[in-house]
């Protein structure tokens, strides 16, 4: 069972369908209020937004230690499928409406959730547009930062955690590790570490008669202290790669 929150216009057709892919662990918890505020804003502008607590998170089934990267990707795919299936019944297009009969599907990722959104888009058998909030380019970097919390916690407590190498050895041996109050499974760690922020493949699904995925639209938002405001060089380079793959930025 997964707990989801649906925010949408009270009636009438919608301009688009949005599925939120949340950030990791404590970043997810600390961003809940802002995500809720943005979801309400989207709904006020005519979008249907589905927020989902992934396996082992929030009020959904399971513990954090039960989660795997593959299960989380499957949760996002299932959320998108549910929202698309509900659209004709809840928000049917009407004659003369400016809204499309099949409104576009957006995957909205926050931090590590952007990696989830990319992975989910690979499995969704319809075109997806992507909204990235402060995206992280590499799951390996996210995992390194997360494991560092364990080392820092041990140091502050006057304990010897053995460093990141010892933690990775535990994971490689198939054992869970506790990091800042979260029980991390080897399956989640390995999947996260392998994740990269790259354009979804254009091949058609082997179980779908739909044509290959078209490059869609990507909205890339990040905070900056630069004057004038500009993307970081790393983000700008990545965005160029998306544009080269045919995506509209």
pLDDT at 153: 61
Q: Let me know: does 110 contact 21? Beta carbons within 8 Å.
A: yes
CB atoms within 10 A of CB 175: 10
pLDDT at 122: 93
pLDDT at 205: 40
My answer on whether omega of the bond before 228 falls inside 30° of 0, hence cis, is: yes
In a 10 Å sphere around its CB, with 0-12 CB exposed, 13-18 middle and 19+ buried, how is residue 172 labelled?
Answer: exposed
pLDDT at 17: 97
Average pLDDT over residues 1-16: 92
Asked if pLDDT for residue 2 goes beyond 70, the answer is: yes
pLDDT-derived band at 208 (thresholds 50, 70, 90) equals very low
The Cα 67–Cα 25 span in angstroms is: 11
Please give the mean pLDDT across all residues of the chain.
89
Give the pairing type, strands 47-52 and 177-179: unpaired
Average pLDDT over residues 37-52: 97
The secondary structure of the chain, three-state, reads CCCEEEECCCCCCCCEEEEEECCCHHHHHHHHHHHHHHHHHHHHCCEEEEEECCCCCCCCCCCHHHCCHHHHHHHHHHHHHHHHHHHHHHCCCCCCCCCCCCCCEEEEEECHHHHHHHHHHHHCCCCCEEEEECCCCEHHHHHHHHHHHHHHHHHHCCCCCCHHHHHHHHHHCCCCEEECCEEECHHHHHHHHHCECCCCCCCCCCCCCCCCCCCCEEEEECCCCCCCCCCCHHHHHHHHHHHHCCCEC
Over residues 10-24, the pLDDT tens digits come to 877 899 999 999 999
Over residues 110-166, the pLDDT tens digits come to 999 999 999 999 999 899 999 999 999 999 999 999 998 877 766 655 565 567 788
The Cα 116–Cα 52 span in angstroms is: 13
Over residues 87-112, the pLDDT tens digits come to 999 988 766 565 667 899 999 999 99
pLDDT at 229: 85
pLDDT at 210: 44
User: Cα 181–196–180 angle (5° rounding)?
Assistant: 10
More confident site: 232 or 49: 49
Contacts of 78 (CB under 8 A, 6+ apart): 2
Percentage with pLDDT > 70 across the chain? 88
Over residues 161-205, the pLDDT tens digits come to 567 788 889 999 999 999 989 999 999 999 999 999 999 874 334
Q: Which domains does the chain have, with CATH numbers?
A: 4-138+197-244 (3.40.50), 139-194 (no CATH)
pLDDT at 157: 57
pLDDT at 202: 45
């Amino acid at each position: 069972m997964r707990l989801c929150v649906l925010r949408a216009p009270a009636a009438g057709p919608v301009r688009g369908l949005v599925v939120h892919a949340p950030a990791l662990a404590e970043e997810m918890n600390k961003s809940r209020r802002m995500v809720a505020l943005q979801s309400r804003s989207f709904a006020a502008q005519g979008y249907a937004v589905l927020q989902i607590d992934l396996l082992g998170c929030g009020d959904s089934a399971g513990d954090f230690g039960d989660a795997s990267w593959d299960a989380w990707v499957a949760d996002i795919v299932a959320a998108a499928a549910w929202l698309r299936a509900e659209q004709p019944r809840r928000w049917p297009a009407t004659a003369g409406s400016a809204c499309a009969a099949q409104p576009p599907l957006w995957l909205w990722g926050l931090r590590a959730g952007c990696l989830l959104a990319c992975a989910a888009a690979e499995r969704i058998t319809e075109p997806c547009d992507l909204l990235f909030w402060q995206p992280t380019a590499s799951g390996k970097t996210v995992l390194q930062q997360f494991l560092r919390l364990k080392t820092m916690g041990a140091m502050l407590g006057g304990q010897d955690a053995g460093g990141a190498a010892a933690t990775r050895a535990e994971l490689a041996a198939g054992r869970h590790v506790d990091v800042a109050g979260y029980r991390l499974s080897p399956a989640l760690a390995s999947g996260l570490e392998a994740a990269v922020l790259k354009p979804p493949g254009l091949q058609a699904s082997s179980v779908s008669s739909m044509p290959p995925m078209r490059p869609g639209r990507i909205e890339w938002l990040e905070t900056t202290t630069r004057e004038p405001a500009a993307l970081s060089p790393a983000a700008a380079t990545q965005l160029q790669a998306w544009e080269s793959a045919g995506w509209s930025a």
